[in-house]
């Protein structure tokens, strides 16, 4: 990377390993095809199309790549779920709905390096046998959608897309499809419904696993922007070499997005698990603001369970059990899960001791109440109840019992909905109550005890206009 110059003030931190973000903020870089090709772009796609599709899938499996959108499911394994004797058309969908609060990585890929994504999609489409692929981009990236459309037109012009690409007999069209501001479209089956021109109500799995019954009931692979970009680098390096990046079971690099109460927020591409949360906060991001102490961290987008600064965890390290603190957690998939949270989409939100946890939770509750699609009753009603309860806690009209009511509402959403939005909405509430119970109760007032409101009561007095 020594020969790459970055724009002033944008030089990557020395702990970074830039693979996907190699060209982000690069001096003299622009999103054109000419620039991308001059840098060796599309060479891998040309080589890849001379391989057997199954060989590409095997490399991706060997790489150990886990999806970068949130669930961390192995990408290569996902591809093999397409039924073996399938006769229907196969679709590839790039999930560019980037909407998990705290996450802002796909934005930079789309705006600054769109051809990297297209190259990754060509290789992935070839591997899974898709001849039509869609990029589902959130409506709030209007410029991003235009950049992608321009990039696709440029690639088509050179026959890198369309009929018989790179002189092979492989055909591929990629289309940009804009969403319209709904978080639920990041959920893959909701996204598919949206792409079919319907309300994005998620489908129930089983039977609607997209790899078997996806878009138009055909086999469909939905992958995150970052995951698709990794495919190109996996093939360049070879799956085994790629798997040596990062740590076992948590291979490769990933982009961590840091925001909140921190001196230097931003995006940092690091080897998975090679940087601890403490190193991320203090070495890479310059630490907390002057005179402030760490209070809490949401490590993987707003749905991830919150970590309290003084928590201790027992984790397996090899055959040994060791006790670690929050700042010792390596930023990988498995350790964060062992610590009761998740790596999710890589969005790390830092909170210092000036923050009221009631206020933070209320903000999160407003988000989920707004974004619930309304299909399942526990989620549609429950998210709004949770928002109303934290509204009361923050405006001083809650009674101490409200905190228990809040927990019971969350407990009755989790596991009772069609899609994982129910968990996404209830995990913040459950974890904030588990870890900041006394602070939430302290924000309530005994004097309000007479006005205690239960879910049943709320329903009875609901504004039914």
Binding site for another protein (CB under 8 A): 89, 98-104, 106-107, 132, 138-143, 175, 177-183, 194-200, 215-216, 257-261, 265-267, 302, 347, 349, 351, 355, 360, 363-364, 366-367, 370-371, 373
C-beta closer to another protein: residue 12 or 260: 260
Q: What are residue 251's phi and psi, to 5 degrees?
A: -90, 165
- CB atoms under 10 Å from CB of 465, counted, come to 3
Report which of 122, 119, 142 is spatially closest to residue 133, judged by C-alpha positions: 122
* Smallest distance, another protein to C-beta of residue 258, A: 7
The minimum distance between CB 352 and another protein, in angstroms, equals: 10
Buried b (16+ CB within 10 A) or exposed e, 100-131: bbbbbbbbbbbebbbbbbbbbbbbbbbbbbbe
Contacts 24+ apart (CB under 8 A), 77-82: 78/211, 78/221, 78/223, 79/124, 79/127, 79/128, 79/211, 79/221, 81/209, 81/211, 81/212, 82/128, 82/129, 82/211, 82/212, 82/219, 82/221
Residue among 88 and 249 whose Cβ is closer to another protein: 88
d(Cα 97, Cα 100) in Å, to the nearest integer? Answer: 9
* Closer by beta carbon to another protein, 276 or else 375: 375
Q: Does residue 117 contact residue 229 with C-beta atoms inside 8 Å?
A: yes
- Residue 160's beta-bridge partner residues? none
Q: Is 133 helix (H, G, I), strand (E, B) or coil?
A: strand
When the beta carbons of 182 and 228 are compared against another protein, the nearer one is 182
Q: What are the distances in angstroms from CA 260 to CA 32, 187, 269, 288, 372?
A: 33, 25, 18, 10, 24
Query: Cβ(280)–Cβ(348) under 8 Å?
Result: yes
Which C-beta is closer to another protein: that of 293 or that of 321?
293
Quick one: tokens of 42?
């599309």
Cβ closest to another protein, residue 74 vs residue 265? 265
CB of 234 or CB of 429, closer to another protein: 429
User: Which of residues 103 and 253 has its CB atom nearest to another protein in the complex?
Assistant: 103
- State the minimum distance, in angstroms, from the CB of residue 364 to another protein: 6
Phi, psi of 105 (to 5 degrees): -105, -45
Minimum distance between the CB of residue 347 and another protein, rounded to whole angstroms?
Answer: 7
CB proximity list for 169: less than 8 A, separation 6 or greater: none
Min dist. Cβ of residue 351 to another protein (A): 8
CB of 195 to another protein, least distance (A): 6
CB of 284 to another protein, least distance (A): 13
Residue 206: phi and psi, rounded to 5, are -70, 165
- What is the nearest approach in angstroms of another protein to the Cβ of residue 424? 13
């Amino acid at each position: 990377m020594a020969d790459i110059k970055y724009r002033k003030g944008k030089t990557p931190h020395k702990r970074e390993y830039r693979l996907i973000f190699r060209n982000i903020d690069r001096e003299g870089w622009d999103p054109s095809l000419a620039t991308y090709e001059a840098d060796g772009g599309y060479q891998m796609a040309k080589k890849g199309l001379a391989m057997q599709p199954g060989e590409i899938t095997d490399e991706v499996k060997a790489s150990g790549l886990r999806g970068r959108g949130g669930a961390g499911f192995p990408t290569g394994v996902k591809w093999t779920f397409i039924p073996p004797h399938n006769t229907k058309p196969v679709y590839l969908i790039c999930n560019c709905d980037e909407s998990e609060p705290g996450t802002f990585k796909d934005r930079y890929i789309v705006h600054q390096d769109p051809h990297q994504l297209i190259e990754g999609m060509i290789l992935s489409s070839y591997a899974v046998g898709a001849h039509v692929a869609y990029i589902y981009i959130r409506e709030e990236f209007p410029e991003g959608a235009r950049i992608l459309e321009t990039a696709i037109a440029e690639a088509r012009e050179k026959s890198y897309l369309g009929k018989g690409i790179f002189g092979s007999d492989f055909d591929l069209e990629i289309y940009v499809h804009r969403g319209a501001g709904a978080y639920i479209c990041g959920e893959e089956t909701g996204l598919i419904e949206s792409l079919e021109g319907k309300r994005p109500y998620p489908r129930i799995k089983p039977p609607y696993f997209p790899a078997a019954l996806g878009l138009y009931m055909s086999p469909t692979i939905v992958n995150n922007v970052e995951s698709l970009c990794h495919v190109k680098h996996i093939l360049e390096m070879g799956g085994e070499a790629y798997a040596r990046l990062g740590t076992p079971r948590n291979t490769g690099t990933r982009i961590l997005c840091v925001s909140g109460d921190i001196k230097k927020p931003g995006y940092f591409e690091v080897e998975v698990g090679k940087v601890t949360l403490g190193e991320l906060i203090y070495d890479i991001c310059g630490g907390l603001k002057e005179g402030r102490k760490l209070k809490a961290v949401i490590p993987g987008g707003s749905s991830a369970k919150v970590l309290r600064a003084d928590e201790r965890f027992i984790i397996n390290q090899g055959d040994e059990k060791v006790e670690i603190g929050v700042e010792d957690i390596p930023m990988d998939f498995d350790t964060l899960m062992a610590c009761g949270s998740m790596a999710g989409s890589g969005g790390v939100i830092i909170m210092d001791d000036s923050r009221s946890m009631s206020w933070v939770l209320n903000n999160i509750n407003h988000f989920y109440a707004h974004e619930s699609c309304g299909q399942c009753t526990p989620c549609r009603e429950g998210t709004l109840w949770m928002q109303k309860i934290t509204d009361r806690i923050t405006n001083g009209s809650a009674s101490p019992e409200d905190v228990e009511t809040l927990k019971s509402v969350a407990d009755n959403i989790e596991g009772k909905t069609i899609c994982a939005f129910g968990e996404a909405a209830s995990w913040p509430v459950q974890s904030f109550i588990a870890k900041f119970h006394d602070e939430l109760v302290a924000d309530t007032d005994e004097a309000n005890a007479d006005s205690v409101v239960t879910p049943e009561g709320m329903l009875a007095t609901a504004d039914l206009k």
